[in-house]
Structure 1
């Protein structure tokens, strides 16, 4: 993202006659955590803009190399936060507990086997796992994040 924007800035530095008006460049912090845009807006430092262009790099499976499209139409995303509760046990006697990692592993394999009948790109991806605090205790509590993405709200 940054190198594309910096290349654009360099182009206008080298070709100032091509620019009608003032170019302002904004880099969004924390884009992947979905918190950066809101922080930029709430900072009060975003100047008045007549036009704002955004950019996001997209895999070649969605937009062919050296091509661009104005937007991903109705791109849909959801994050499922999941908590699993089991029963703690000593690692030497795991049969006395209910291991949330085992439960999540089985669930994750089921999620990975989802195959939708569509030509549109989609994904089901585990993006966060946290379970256990000790290497010798079967964890009885775990939180997991699963990211779902599709091209359309209908497919979501």
Structure 2
């Protein structure tokens, strides 16, 4: 029997909470989400969805066909972290992806059972490997953004960012990257340093030079050494040193400038110290891009479900999210990620992270309301 999708979510409250608990127990690391994907696929198939799967990864895509081939979409991530919990190294859902998948799944079920005719095709993307910042790119390759005009996601937020029973229409993640490399020197005995070229000394010069990088940019940024390895004995000048620099920037444009400055500095230091420095860019994630139209829809959905008094304008975050690859690769895509207040403590990625599961219910309602509002718009 067809019913109002918001009422459906209330009716399925206990089932939603049970689904979250079952997904929580299925925690699997990036690219290994086999059981998680199968669980979600079974729920969708039983509800009558045709589920698109992929041989090279465990991502899923399902569509509710609309009058138009233009797509409004919702993305959820499925993977867990590998970390130590009570002395044991294991997969652990300490970033809330099990909750995100639960909310996206029941948004799909709520809209499908409503019997409503949609102006746009409504797409649900269940993505692997967010924690490695690789899954979004694979889903894009798989056609997740084909005909897409609007995309949303959701992320549970720490209590210090967004209070319980409140939400924001955008999470302003910054861009993150790392530069990893080796400094090749010439080994020698410490008693005869003139016969060698010490890569540790070159590393010291490099660290100081990197610290002096300045941009003519009003946005926040940082670059700092986070890894330095070299040397095997107290009386030997080593042949090689390994380093990693962590880069953070408020915007993609600032990150581009920071990377160029860092690369220029590395090349100049190699010349100055007469060492060979090999490096590469790794672990890159783009920054969020504000989209006022998408944010306005988010505000409307949050206000409709939680009331205007529980709407928070924005949620700045020092972290990263590979959700923003979708807008990086499709510049005309209207997209935003909802920040969900849920009394999350002590913090994201903490092995003992918990949150108030009541947020799963109103989070699902917000996503459902958001897609219903997005369907009314002309994109």
Q: TM-score, normalised by structure 2?
A: 0.29
Secondary structure of the corresponding residue to residue 103 of structure 1: helix
2:241 and 2:192 map into 1 onto residues whose CA distance is 19
- 1:12 alignment counterpart: none
- Residue 35 of structure 2 is aligned to residue 45 of structure 1: yes
- Residue 145 of structure 2 is aligned to residue 155 of structure 1: no
- 1:62 alignment counterpart: none
Q: TM-score, normalised by structure 1?
A: 0.64
- 1:54 alignment counterpart: 155
Which structure features the higher share of strand residues?
A: 2
Q: Give the 4+ runs in structure 1 shifted more than 4 A.
A: none
1:56 and 1:141 map into 2 onto residues whose CA distance is 42
Distance verdict in 2 for CA 1:55–1:83, change over 3 Å: farther
* Cα deviations by residue, 1:27-66 (Å, 9 ceiling, x for unpaired): 7xxxxxxxxx982552323242352643466xxxxxxx94
Unaligned runs of 5+ in 2: 1-9, 41-100, 105-153, 163-167, 256-379
After TM superposition, the structure 1 = structure 2 runs for residues 9-24 of structure 1, keeping only pairs within 5 Å, are 20-21=13-14, 22-23=16-17, 24=20
Secondary structure of the corresponding residue to residue 183 of structure 2: strand
CA RMSD of aligned residues (A): 3.0
- 1:105 alignment counterpart: 204
1:38 and 1:145 map into 2 onto residues whose CA distance is 27
2:31 and 2:239 map into 1 onto residues whose CA distance is 41
Distance verdict in 2 for CA 1:88–1:54, change over 3 Å: same
1:56 and 1:117 map into 2 onto residues whose CA distance is 32
Cα offset for 1:86?
0.7
Cα offset for 1:118?
3.0
**Aligned residue pairs, count:** 122
Unaligned runs of 5+ in 1: 1-16, 28-36, 58-64
Cα offset for 1:154?
0.9
- 1:123 alignment counterpart: 222
Which structure features the higher share of helix residues?
A: 2
